[in-house]
Amino acid sequence: MLLAIDVGNTNVVFALVEDETIRWRWRVATDHNRTADEYAVLLNQLMALEGVERAHISGAIIATVVPPTLFNLQHLCRKYFDVEPLIVGANGIDYGIAINMPNPAEVGADRIVNAVAAHASTPGDLIIVDFGTATTFDIVASDPVTGAGSYEGGVIAPGINLSMDALYMAAAKLPRIAVEPPTTGSNNASVIGKNTVHAMQSGVFWGYVGLIEGLTSRIKAEVGRPMTVIGTGGLATLFNRHTDAIDSVDGDLTIRGLIRINALNAIT
């Protein structure tokens, strides 16, 4: 069984994968001070609830955008699961796609992993919109003859929760709000807010819908070919209900990318 670990700025996702099927997944807050022993206690308890023993883990792969977490997660894999983890971003890793960037090492591990998964499952040129701590737009090109894929770059914007926190912290009279579109009395989505909370919800929510639609439209115009837009991340489903710019949503995209990379680099 494979232990796939995806470390984001806000959460760490642990997933157990059997025969390329995600069997279990757990989410804990990202804390770069958390030790390998503390991770082990958390995972041991979560695995015990599902009847999974440590001996069932035969491999591990880690993708992190928080470098200080890497040492302790590597130590976790070695000490408690007796496996040497594969690290996304390490030298010599086969991703199954080219990284067409001047400095491939500076591309976030999560963005590469998403690109790998999306290319493996969806033909043609792609835009991947990941709603995380940052909202990222990543472009994957596909050769029309060979089908070979390449990561071509992208866009990084502040995540919606960051924007809401900044609004709340910087403006003394504005309250903290939830991520949702404002509604009228008939429960229809409305752009024009009739009070402060609704006005803030409209600015943040519909502002991000405009961001999604505007950037995907501009990317498609620049590429000059049809492109499929894939959404992922916690808020992808919510935004997908309010825009036609997203063609499909895949909440497991990052974990599936880790599974794919592990398979490509498996030692036989």
Q: Are residues 144 and 32 in the same domain?
A: no
CATH number at residue 132: 3.30.420.40
Statement: residue 255 has pLDDT above 80? yes
Q: What is the mean pLDDT of the chain?
A: 91
Distance of CA 127 to the CA centre of its chain: 13
Check the annotation: does 243 bind a ligand. Answer: no
Q: Which of 113-127, 178-192, 221-235 has the lowest mean pLDDT?
A: 178-192
Q: Is the pLDDT of residue 250 over 90?
A: yes
Please name which of 97, 9, 115, 16 lies closest in space to residue 60, comparing C-alpha atoms.
16
If asked whether residues 34 and 72 sit together in one domain, one would say yes
In a domain, 39, yes or no: yes
Q: Which of 61, 87, 113 is the last residue of a domain?
A: 87
Q: pLDDT class for 67, splitting at 50, 70, 90?
A: very high
- Same domain, residue pair 75 and 150: no
Q: Do residues 14 and 135 both lie within one domain?
A: no
Whether residue 13 is annotated as binding a ligand: the answer is: yes
Q: Answer yes or no: do 14 and 73 share one domain.
A: yes
192 falls within a domain: no
Active site residues per annotation: 110
Is residue 153 helix, strand or coil? strand
Structural domain of 241? 97-161+198-257
Secondary structure, 3-state, 44-107: HHHHHHCCCCHHHCCEEEEEECCHHHHHHHHHHHHHHHCCCCEECCCCCCCCCEEECCCCHHHC
pLDDT (tens digit per residue) in 24-64: 999 999 999 999 999 999 999 999 999 999 999 999 999 99
Is 193 labelled a binding residue? no
**Cβ neighbours of residue 100 closer than 8 Å, sequence gap 6 or more:** 141, 150, 151, 152, 153
pLDDT category of residue 182 using cuts at 50, 70 and 90: confident
Query: What is the number of domains present in the chain?
Result: 2
Whether residue 138 sits in one domain with residue 251: yes
Q: Give yes or no for residue 177 having a pLDDT over 80.
A: no
Q: Is the pLDDT of residue 17 over 80?
A: yes
Answer yes or no: is pLDDT of 179 > 80. Answer: no
120, 234: one domain: yes
Please determine, for residue 168, whether its predicted confidence score (pLDDT) is greater than 80.
no
Residue 32 lies in a domain: yes
**Residue 138 and residue 54 share a domain:** no
> Among residues 268, 262, 232, 264, which one has the least CA distance to residue 250?
232
Band of residue 189 on the pLDDT scale cut at 50, 70, 90: low
pLDDT for res 187: 53
